[in-house]
Amino acid sequence: MTGGHFYSDTSIPDLYRWFATETASSPTWQQLSTWIAQTEDIWPLLDSLPGKKRQPNVFLATLRYLEGPTAPGADFLAWVQQHWPEIRAVVLARDTQTNEPGRCANLAPVLSSLGEKIALIEVGMSAGLCLFPDRYGYRWSLEDGSTVARGQDDVAVIECAVTGRSPVPYELPNVVWRAGIDLNPLNPSDPDDAKWLRSLVWPGQATRERRLASALQMAAAEDVVRVRGDAIEQLPSLIARAPQDATVVVMHTVVLAYFQRERRIEFEAMMADLPVRWLANEADRVLPGVAERIPSWDGPPSFVLSLDGQPLARTAPHGQFHHWL
C-alpha cells in the first residue's frame, strides 16, 4: 500500500513492474502488468493520468469495468488506444475502494470481546461491507486441527486459519448500530457502485467474487448511517450520534495508508483522546505509534490488528488467516 506521491513520482514502467510483484495471486494481472512495464507504446497514455490516478490498480479495474481485454498483446494495445477517452473518464471518476468482507474474520472475535452491545463506526467504509461482522458465516480453523463455525451460511462463509494463542473467545459481536465515514461512500444497492466494486477484485479470485456479490446483496437491504467526508473532520460528531448504552468502537481496515503521513499522526493522536475503543487493521508502518510496538515477523505479507494502539495479531489481506502475537 502506497501513498499519492509514489504514484505521481514513479515512472510508468517502474509502477507496473512493482504492481506485477504485488499481484502474484492473480496471474492475469501479473502478466498484464509485466507486459505494460515492457511496452513503451502504452506508457504515454498511462503517463497522462494525473497524480494518484496513475495507480495501476485503478487502470486495471477500469478494464474489467468496461469489459475490455485483459490479455497482453497488440489487440490489447489497440483496444486501449481506441477506448482511451472512456478509460480516462472512469479512472478520473473512481478510486481504489476495494471492500473486502473477508476481513471480518479478523475483526469479529475482537469485537465480540468488547461489550454486549456494539455501536460500530467504520472509518473508510467504502460500501460498508465490513460493518456487518455479525452477519457472515465463519469457519476458523485452529492450530490443534479443530474448527470453530459461527454465524449464518446464507450470506457468505469466510474461512480463516488461526495460529498463536487466542486472547478472545470465537463468538460473534452483537452490533446494535452501524455507521461509516468515507470520502466517497459507495451504495451497495447502486448497480454502478456494485459493478465498480466487482471490477476491483483481481481476476481469478472466484471466492472473493462470490463473497462480494452475496455481501452486497445483504447490505443493500440494511440500514447504515453513511457520512461523506474526511475521517478526521467527521468522526467526533458521528461518535456523538452513537447510542449511549452501547460500547462505541471505531474500526478501520486498510484505510490509513491513503492518508498523508501528517494526517495519520493526527488521526492516531485523536483516537487516543476519544472516549471509544479503537480497532485498527492496517499495514505495518502505517500507524507510527502501533509500529513501534509490533514484534518482528518473518511470516507472509500481512497487516497488523491493533486494539487501542496495542498490536494483537497479524492478519491476512483478505481475512484468510490471523496469527495472535
Q: Does the protein bind ligand SAM through residue 237 (CB under 6 A)?
A: no
Q: Does the protein bind ligand SAM through residue 209 (CB under 6 A)?
A: no
User: In the block, which residue shows the cell 473486502?
Assistant: 100
Contact assessment for residue 104 and residue 136, using Cβ atoms and an 8 Å cutoff: yes
Cα distances from 175 to residues 6, 85, 115, 178, 248, in angstroms, run: 38, 44, 10, 7, 10
153/210 Cα distance (integer angstroms)? 13
Residues 23-42 within binding reach of ligand SAM (CB under 6 A): none
- Minimum Å gap between C-beta 320 and ligand SAM is 14
Part of the chain binding ligand SAM (CB under 6 A), chosen from 51-59, 78-86, 97-105, 216-224 = 97-105
Q: State which of residues 184, 189, 237, 260 lies at the interface with ligand SAM (CB under 6 A).
A: 184
Part of the chain binding ligand SAM (CB under 6 A), chosen from 94-102, 106-114, 159-167, 282-290 = 94-102
Per rule CB under 6 A, count of chain residues that contact ligand SAM:
22
Q: Does the protein bind ligand SAM through residue 181 (CB under 6 A)?
A: yes
- Minimum Å gap between C-beta 71 and ligand SAM is 27
Q: State which of residues 96, 166, 207, 320 lies at the interface with ligand SAM (CB under 6 A).
A: 96
**Cα–Cα–Cα angle for 174, 286, 157, nearest 5°?**
35
Q: What is the grid cell recorded at 35?
A: 507486459
Looking only at Cα atoms, what is the longest distance across the chain?
62
87/40 Cα distance (integer angstroms)? 19
Beta carbon nearer to ligand SAM, 4 or 69: 4
305/4 Cα distance (integer angstroms)? 24
Residues 253-272 within binding reach of ligand SAM (CB under 6 A): 253-255, 258-259
Contact assessment for residue 257 and residue 286, using Cβ atoms and an 8 Å cutoff: yes
Q: State which of residues 30, 98, 306, 315 lies at the interface with ligand SAM (CB under 6 A).
A: 98
Nearest-CB residue for ligand SAM: 124
- Minimum Å gap between C-beta 215 and ligand SAM is 10
Please name the residues in contact with 192: beta carbons below 8 A apart, sequence gap of 6 or more: none
Beta carbon nearer to ligand SAM, 32 or 107: 107
Provide the H-helix boundaries in 67-169: 74-82, 84-93, 104-112
Q: Does the protein bind ligand SAM through residue 55 (CB under 6 A)?
A: no
Q: Does the protein bind ligand SAM through residue 231 (CB under 6 A)?
A: yes
Judged by DSSP in three states, 227 sits in strand
Where along the sequence are the contacts to ligand SAM (CB under 6 A)? 95-100, 103, 123-124, 126, 130, 181-184, 230-231, 253-255, 258-259
